[in-house]
């Protein structure tokens, strides 16, 4: 073959190579598109309660909520999600904060709602902060667990994460798993899997129950009380009306892959450490509350 003709064939665009390149670019785009957070509270969240008690930095990267005798405050994500991983950095109320509740959670806002809760219960000065977690599935809750945090959460920001997929829900503090709730629907246990949820945060007066069962009331002389939020990341399936698109295992729905169906060996060690040294209440150990008939999931594997 003539050399010039050969070089022309070699340099000619090859449709299958071009198609492969475009597919690769598309897959990369889809994967990146699953990261739906901009990092700007003004773009990703709406203030849903008392705008005068919400303060957002000029660049939108951080936000505070304030509680005083007039009002608390809250915000909620514009989008709704079905499965994914949500990270939120929070610095809790410094000083005496008894009676206050800082909540960071996901909720479907339906009558039979699904909900995944972090609730930080204010403390008397010098006492360790209590973190309560709870899960609503098909409108039923009563699944509280409480731990003492192993650090002072008022001194600096720490990352609190919700990892939610078709297999399990994992609550994490600075990427350490503190609680698990598995999908045991095949055994008749309710699990959040059909209702999309928005990401929410609030600060409110919970003095009727939050600190020592309501014995320690809010001391307004220490107010106003301020909780700070920042550096969040939402990597989740944006709800578009079709749950199957969020339930499938794919490159964009990476959280549903089988490798995330349980904890890793290292995560299990951390989880056992939290349970051994920091757990102070587990509904699955409260026989009196349930009249010796614990919820069904209490007898099933956690991982």
Active-site choice (115, 145, 207, 297): 115
Distance, CA of 129 to CA of 123 (rounded, Å): 6
CB 177 within 8 A of CB 59: no
Distance, CA of 124 to CA of 109 (rounded, Å): 32
Q: Is 70 a catalytic residue?
A: no
CB 207 within 8 A of CB 217: yes
Question: What values do phi and psi take at 298, rounded to 5?
Answer: -65, -25
**Cis preceding-peptide flag for 224 (omega within 30 of 0):** yes
How far from 229 is each of 60, 62, 119, 138, 289, CA to CA, in Å?
A: 11, 6, 14, 29, 35
If DSSP codes are grouped into helix, strand and coil, which group holds residue 243? helix
If DSSP codes are grouped into helix, strand and coil, which group holds residue 265? helix
Q: Is 119 a catalytic residue?
A: yes
Q: What count of other Cβ atoms lies within 10 Å of the Cβ of residue 95?
A: 12
Active-site choice (119, 145, 207, 252): 119
Which residues does the annotation mark as catalytic? Answer: 115, 119
């Amino acid at each position: 073959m003539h050399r010039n003709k050969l070089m022309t064939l070699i340099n000619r665009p090859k449709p299958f190579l071009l198609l492969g390149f475009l597919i690769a670019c598309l897959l990369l785009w889809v994967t990146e598109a699953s990261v739906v957070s901009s990092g700007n509270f003004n773009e990703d969240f709406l203030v849903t309660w008392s705008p005068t008690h919400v303060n957002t930095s000029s660049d939108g990267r951080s936000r505070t909520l304030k509680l005083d005798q007039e009002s608390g405050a809250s915000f909620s994500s514009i989008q709704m999600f079905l499965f994914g991983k949500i990270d939120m950095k929070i610095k809790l109320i410094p000083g005496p904060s008894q009676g206050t509740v800082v909540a960071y959670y996901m909720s479907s806002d339906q009558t039979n709602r699904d909900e995944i809760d972090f609730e930080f219960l204010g403390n008397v000065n010098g006492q360790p902060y209590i973190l309560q977690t709870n899960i609503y599935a098909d409108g039923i809750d009563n699944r509280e667990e409480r731990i003492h945090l192993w650090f002072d959460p008022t001194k600096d920001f720490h990352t609190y994460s919700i990892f939610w997929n078709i297999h399990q829900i994992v609550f994490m503090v600075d990427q350490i798993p503190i609680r698990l709730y598995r999908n045991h629907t095949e055994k008749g246990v309710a699990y959040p899997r059909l209702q999309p949820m928005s990401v929410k945060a609030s600060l409110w007066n919970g003095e009727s129950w939050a600190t020592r069962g309501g014995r320690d009331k809010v001391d307004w002389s220490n107010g106003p009380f301020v909780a700070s939020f920042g550096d969040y990341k939402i990597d989740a399936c944006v709800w578009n009306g079709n749950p199957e698109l969020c339930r499938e295992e794919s490159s964009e729905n990476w959280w549903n892959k089988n490798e995330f169906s349980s904890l890793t060996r290292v995560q299990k060690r951390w989880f056992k450490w939290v349970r051994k040294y920091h757990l102070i209440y587990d509904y699955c150990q409260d026989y009196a509350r349930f009249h010796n008939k614990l919820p069904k999931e209490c007898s099933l594997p956690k991982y």
